[in-house]
Amino acid sequence: MRDKEDERVDGSRRTWLIATTVAGGIGGVATVVPFVSSFAPSEKAKAAGAPVEVDISNLKPGDMMTVAWRGKPVWIINRTDKMLADVQKADKEVADPQSKNPFSMPEPDYTKNEFRSRPDHKNLFVAVAVCTHLGCTPTPRFQEGAQPNLPDDWPGGFLCPCHGSTYDMAGRVFKNKPAPQNLDIPPYMITGNTLVIGKDEKGEA
């Protein structure tokens, strides 16, 4: 039979264990709260889908620039008259010349034309630089003619390095390629020397 001294020791130990457990629980809550709050989107993440304004004042004929919109690369190309002629040259070689089958977003009405651009700025080509096959980023191959991995009568355009899909200077995929659809055209508008991606006269995308 245990004496009173043993009972006092057990009681003290029990009190210590309870206090430790409670303190541990409080500490656990304290460490969980900031962890859970980290799931809240940051201001940068909230702004990821916002329209992007781009200064195109220094974009010379034949030049291309790439900007990020919604986490994807978007091309802005100031096409030359020769590049526009290459688009017309490719009409019979592309799978969907009128872009009747959109990829991941509806094409704006103002780009539903041969050059897939605004009629008042037909030289400016704006497209999401994501191959419609498996999501790689095509590379520009603007030079005409025979070159590695391209046909001898290449009219100029883009080549996807992953599986060989090719697109013309309007982002239209050529026939018999892995990519099933043309490149996406995001909503955009042009005001002076500023091009806004993700917004047009109808509002934000």
Q: 166 is written with which tokens?
A: 């090719």
Residue 158: enclosing H or E segment and its boundaries? Answer: strand 157-159
Q: Quick one: which of 169, 171, 191 has its CA closest to 182?
A: 171
**CATH class entry, domain 46-204:** mainly beta
Locate all alpha helices (DSSP H) within the chain, ordered by sequence: 4-37, 43-46, 81-89
Residue in 153, 188, 186 with CA at minimum distance from that of residue 168? 153
**Is the CB of residue 177 less than 8 Å from the CB of residue 168?**
no
**What string of pLDDT tens digits covers the 205 residues of the chain?**
445 444 444 555 544 444 444 444 434 333 333 333 333 334 554 456 789 999 999 999 999 999 999 999 999 999 999 999 999 989 999 999 999 998 999 999 999 999 999 999 999 999 999 999 988 999 999 988 888 888 898 989 999 999 999 999 999 999 999 999 999 999 999 999 999 999 998 888 7
Q: Indicate the pTM of the whole model.
A: 0.75
The per-residue pLDDT for 48 is 60
